[in-house]
Amino acid sequence: MKPEYDVIVIGGGAAGYFAAVNIAEKHPKLKILIIEKAKTVLNKVRISGGGRCNVTNRISDPAELVKFYPRGEKELTGPFTRFTTSDTVNWFEQRGVKLKVENDGRVFPESDDSGTIIKCFLNIAEKYKIELITGVNINSIFKVNDIWNLSSSDNRHFTSEYLLIAPGSSKTILDILKKLSHTIIPPVPSLFTFNIKDSRLKELAGVAVKNVQCSLEGFKKTTDGPLLITHWGLSGPSILKMSSFAARYLSKINYKCKLQVNWLPRYKKEELHDLLLKIKEKNIRKGVIKTPVLEIPLSLWKNLVLYSGINEDQKWFELSNSVINKLLE
């Protein structure tokens, strides 16, 4: 018996749509169906990049690009070579989407609106009459006589010659794939902020430090970059990078671990000691918590000073060498 569709795509997200419209452009006669469990499609694309959609990056050399993927370096070298970031830029521009590169290398639609990307996908899908069914959750996949048979939780059935699975991190689909003899590496969260209760962060929500170095107890790699203190702990690129590099380690230790932040990574400990002595000399009669120290925001400096046992009214001349050393810990 002939299947109803030539290609069924499970998942109406960025991956599903990009795949479906490319197949349609190359093979316009194929009957293609996208099945999406949500009521609307491309929902993550809409909120991506703060609503602007960071489409790709200026870095085009695959060898350089893979370094930004902590656990996918080996696996992504092939795909990034076959379809580079320049190919992505060309792909959108050839379909009328004007893009711009920002100073940090990120590429956005000129419109600064993720809706432009969504419209591009939907227009092509409409042009090639790609069918779409929303609100349908596929919960069973099996093959009979070389034909893919799909069923949904509301008991609908679909058949197709080819099947493309793009359901993001859906656990249901991962479990189905496991049953179909695929090897699944269990996914763990990545790119998250840290929940930390520490008196040194008290009342500092919103304070940002330009460049810190982070390390986790028991984990080799360090990360650097800006850091943001939040109401619940820490965020910013240095933390997000750490959450990504240490994703598996953190999952293994149940997200309980000591984090060390070097607030002034540009300086060696001895250099900092000398610098603090110079600051002491210059501000000998001033209050320690009131003296700005290098790039550390004053409010953070105050908390660090109080944490090290120096009291609120203490002046620099009252600090002994050993107290200064304690400040550096």
Binding site for ligand FAD (CB under 6 A): 10-16, 35-38, 43-45, 47-49, 53-54, 137-138, 166-168, 170, 172-173
* AA identity, residue 137: N
Q: How far is the CB of 8 from ligand FAD (least distance, A)?
A: 10
Contacts of 2 (CB under 8 A, 6+ apart): none
Q: How far is the CB of 291 from ligand FAD (least distance, A)?
A: 40
Q: Per residue in 34-57, is it b (16+ CB within 10 Å) or e — as a string?
A: bbbbeeebbeebeebbeebbebbb
User: Is residue 191 exposed (0-12), middle (13-18) or buried (19+ Cβ within 10 Å)?
Assistant: exposed
Give 173 or 227: the residue with its C-beta nearer to ligand FAD.
Answer: 173
CA distance 262 to 285: 28
Q: How far is the CB of 289 from ligand FAD (least distance, A)?
A: 38
Give 48 or 251: the residue with its C-beta nearer to ligand FAD.
Answer: 48
Strands 99-101 vs 56-57: parallel, antiparallel or unpaired: unpaired
- Which residue's Cβ has the minimum distance to ligand FAD? 13
Give 32 or 264: the residue with its C-beta nearer to ligand FAD.
Answer: 32
Give 41 or 293: the residue with its C-beta nearer to ligand FAD.
Answer: 41
Give 167 or 327: the residue with its C-beta nearer to ligand FAD.
Answer: 167
Q: How far is the CB of 23 from ligand FAD (least distance, A)?
A: 15
194: β partners: 234
Q: How far is the CB of 188 from ligand FAD (least distance, A)?
A: 15
Q: How far is the CB of 41 from ligand FAD (least distance, A)?
A: 6
Instruction: Read off the DSSP letter of residue 119.
Output: H
CB 190 within 8 A of CB 245: no
Strands 32-36 vs 131-134: parallel, antiparallel or unpaired: parallel
CB 260 within 8 A of CB 243: no
* Block residue for tokens 């920002």: 102
Give 40 or 260: the residue with its C-beta nearer to ligand FAD.
Answer: 40
Q: How far is the CB of 254 from ligand FAD (least distance, A)?
A: 23
Structure tokens at 228: 């943001």
With the C-alpha atoms ordered 82, 223, 244, 45, is the resulting torsion angle positive or negative? negative
Give 20 or 305: the residue with its C-beta nearer to ligand FAD.
Answer: 20
